[in-house]
Amino acid sequence: MRKIRIGLFGFGKTGKLVANEFLKDDRFELGWVVKRTRKFAERYASRRLGYETKTGPIHAVGKLGPRFFAKHPVDVLIDFSSAAGYRSYRDAPDAGVRIVSAISKYEPEDLAALKELSAKTAVLYSPNITLGINFLLVASQVLQKIAPHADVEIVEEHFRDKQEVSGTALKIAQVLGLEKTRHVNSIRVGGIVGRHEVVFGLPNQTIRLVHESISRAAFGQGAIFAALWLADKPPGLYSMEQIVADMVARNVPIF
């Protein structure tokens, strides 16, 4: 079976762990990595992560050139860079590249640009690509339908240096029809990777749905799931939430 060739945008803390997950998986080949700065450009992601092999050459985003994707073909592009990252791969669909975007926060115009790309290729977008958080999204919506009059609050906890409100928490609020400014509560302490809790308050009981990321490697495992699912899909805009909901409805194992 031919390996799925992966291109990765973003090589920060999370990007490195995501790259490592793909390097460990025999179903994939890490074709290249694109990062913001020129530091370590033209070296290899595998070497940067402690492997002996020369896999995943590193390219600086400012040096890609107009025919980058034709010269360096991959099957699926994984984006863990920034909200502006898509501007550097607008021509990827013309080279037959499918796209997985795991950016936590997009402005409306960014989402519109992703939708334009999805007219030419398969695009999967999820602000939190872990399987667990997307199961929590589905379970929260099911519970809200069962108990529509329950009070609902969202608590998100992250490391102390994270300044903005969690994009995942805002997504949960959106799908539950809540005002994000009133019902999303943020906690910043220590080195918490990410914890999201949806609290349903009823007159005589409380129901709590919790997801906690123990390591950022969970994002890499989610990206692997997404890449495998997307590899043979036609053009269109997909989401992890939709995939998980469909698998739950069909009683297909998720984990």
**Catalytic residue annotation:** 158, 162
Joined tokens for residue 14: 């999370």
Taking the C-alpha atoms of residue 253 and residue 208, their distance in angstroms, rounded to an integer, is 23
Taking the C-alpha atoms of residue 159 and residue 166, their distance in angstroms, rounded to an integer, is 11
Give which of 188, 170, 187 is closest to 179, Cα–Cα: 170
- Read off the DSSP letter of residue 50: T
Amino acid at 167: G
Taking the C-alpha atoms of residue 184 and residue 174, their distance in angstroms, rounded to an integer, is 11
52 Cβ partners below 8 Å, 6+ apart? Answer: 46
Taking the C-alpha atoms of residue 129 and residue 194, their distance in angstroms, rounded to an integer, is 13
The helix/strand/coil state of 1 is: coil
Q: Which residue has the tokens 């592009």?
A: 77
138 Cβ partners below 8 Å, 6+ apart? Answer: 241, 244, 245, 248
Classify burial at 64, counting beta carbons within 10 Å of its beta carbon; exposed 0-12, middle 13-18, buried 19 or more.
middle
Give which of 9, 14, 12 is closest to 130, Cα–Cα: 14
